[in-house]
């Protein structure tokens, strides 16, 4: 297991290299899909920190994604399009919200945690829906320009924007990787494995869960920042439970507790959605069948199952 994990960065490096070269080979449509995969991959990785590593299935993760996106959109509406300002606020406001909501939702655990996160998520969704003067209500906020980095390259060019997302994606991967493999990260895994034992060993398990919730919220906010720049539009739908449900599926299909697995899950869902929807209007049924098959036959997700198989293979040698 340990050997497998230490080899992960090598594979990660190769994958990043491929992601660097791919835009040169892809069509504009393909590049657009790949950009979405990176953004949702980042979003799913942030949820994996909670779901896969801390053992907390949150149903309001879209809240932080949406709040990050709305922050950028509202700033843009005020004529503030400085990328760095939007980035800092697009991360710190979701973090502040996670600091507050974490105090409330982490009083419960298991299915109760799931239900209370769903309730708070829907409250924020309703707020965005009704607070028309700020959020544009159900019309959302449109016309958000691509970021201005103050560099001699336009982010309106799809390739440039893709590389910007890639840089932040890689940076986020590195930070999350380091975090998970730090002493704190291992303690968080300990909470997932046995909270009562961790308490008996002197760990403040509530504090660890709170930290994980806040970090996950911050990275979801970062994903939201890039999403709104990419999309140019944000509506309350991005805060809705359906968005939280979708990112949960990305984590499950990719493999919870594998960090990069959810990126694969995000890729599969986004690409399949686009492929199938171009052939049939009944694409949600096909997606549903694929999800059911994954849950039945790939319980550890695509990456999780592959890692298990590889481990088994090594064991048989």
Partner 1 sequence: MKALETKSLTKHFGGLAVLQDISMTVEVGERRAIIGPNGAGKTTFFNTISGVIKPNAGEIFVFGDKVTQLPPFRRARLGLARTFQQNNLFVNLSLLDNINLAMPPNQAKMTPRDFLDNWGWWDKSTIPVKEFSYGEQRQVELLLALAQSPRLLLLDEPTAGMSSVETNKITTMIRNLSREITVLIIEHDMDVVFDFADRITVLNYGRVLFEGAKDEVRSDERVKEVYLGSVD
**Contacts to partner 1 by CB under 8 A:** 1-2, 183, 186-187, 189-190, 193-194, 196-205
CB of 252 to partner 1, least distance (A): 18
Q: Which of 85, 66, 239, 75 is nearest to 145 (CA)?
A: 75
Task: Check: CB of residue 75 under 8 Å from CB of residue 81.
Answer: yes
Nearest residue (CB) to partner 1, 1 versus 24: 1
CB of 70 to partner 1, least distance (A): 37
Residue 79 CB: number of other CB atoms within 10 A?
A: 6
Round to whole Å and give the CA distance between 267 and 169: 14
CB of 309 to partner 1, least distance (A): 17
Round to whole Å and give the CA distance between 229 and 148: 10
Tokens of 309: 């198989």
CB of 183 to partner 1, least distance (A): 6
Round to whole Å and give the CA distance between 48 and 45: 5
Nearest residue (CB) to partner 1, 107 versus 282: 107
Q: Which of 215, 214, 233 is nearest to 135 (CA)?
A: 233
Nearest residue (CB) to partner 1, 184 versus 271: 184
CB of 48 to partner 1, least distance (A): 16
Nearest residue (CB) to partner 1, 282 versus 314: 314
Torsion of CA 84, 90, 91, 97, to 10 degrees: 150
Q: Which of 26, 20, 48, 66 is nearest to 263 (CA)?
A: 48
| Three-class SS state of 142 | strand
Ramachandran area for residue 232 (φ above 0: left; ψ -120 to 50: alpha; else beta): left
Q: Which of 132, 181, 154, 159 is nearest to 5 (CA)?
A: 181
Residue with tokens 């400085």: 82
**C-alpha pair distances (Å), 72 with each of 18, 113, 189, 223, 246:** 30, 29, 33, 12, 22
Round to whole Å and give the CA distance between 190 and 287: 34
């Amino acid at each position: 297991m340990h050997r497998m994990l230490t080899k992960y960065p090598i594979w990660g490096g190769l994958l990043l290299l491929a992601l660097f070269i791919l835009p040169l080979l892809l069509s504009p449509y393909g590049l657009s899909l790949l950009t979405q995969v990176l953004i949702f991959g980042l979003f799913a990785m942030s949820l994996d920190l909670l779901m896969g590593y801390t053992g907390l299935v949150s149903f309001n993760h879209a809240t932080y994604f949406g709040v990050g996106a709305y922050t950028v959109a509202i700033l843009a509406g005020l004529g503030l399009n400085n990328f760095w300002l939007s980035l800092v606020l697009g991360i710190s406001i979701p973090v502040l919200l996670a600091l507050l909501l974490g105090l409330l939702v982490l009083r419960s655990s298991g299915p109760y945690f799931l239900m209370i996160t769903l309730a708070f998520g829907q409250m924020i969704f309703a707020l965005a829906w009704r607070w028309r003067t700020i959020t544009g209500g159900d019309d959302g906020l449109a016309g958000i320009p691509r970021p201005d980095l103050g560099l001699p390259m336009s982010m309106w060019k799809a390739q440039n924007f893709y590389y910007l997302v890639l840089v932040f994606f890689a940076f986020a991967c590195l930070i999350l990787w380091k975090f998970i493999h730090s002493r704190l990260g291992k303690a968080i895994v300990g909470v997932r494995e046995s909270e009562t034992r961790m308490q008996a060993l002197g760990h403040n398990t509530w504090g660890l869960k709170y930290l994980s919730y806040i970090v996950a919220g911050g990275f979801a906010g970062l994903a939201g920042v890039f999403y709104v720049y990419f999309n140019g539009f944000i509506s309350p739908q991005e805060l809705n439970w359906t968005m939280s449900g979708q990112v949960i599926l990305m984590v499950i299909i990719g493999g919870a507790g594998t960090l990069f697995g959810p990126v694969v899950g995000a890729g599969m869902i986004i690409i399949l959605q686009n492929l199938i929807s171009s052939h049939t209007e009944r694409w949600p049924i096909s997606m549903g069948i694929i999800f059911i098959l994954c849950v039945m036959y790939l319980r550890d997700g695509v990456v999780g199952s592959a890692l298990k198989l590889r481990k088994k293979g090594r064991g048989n040698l």
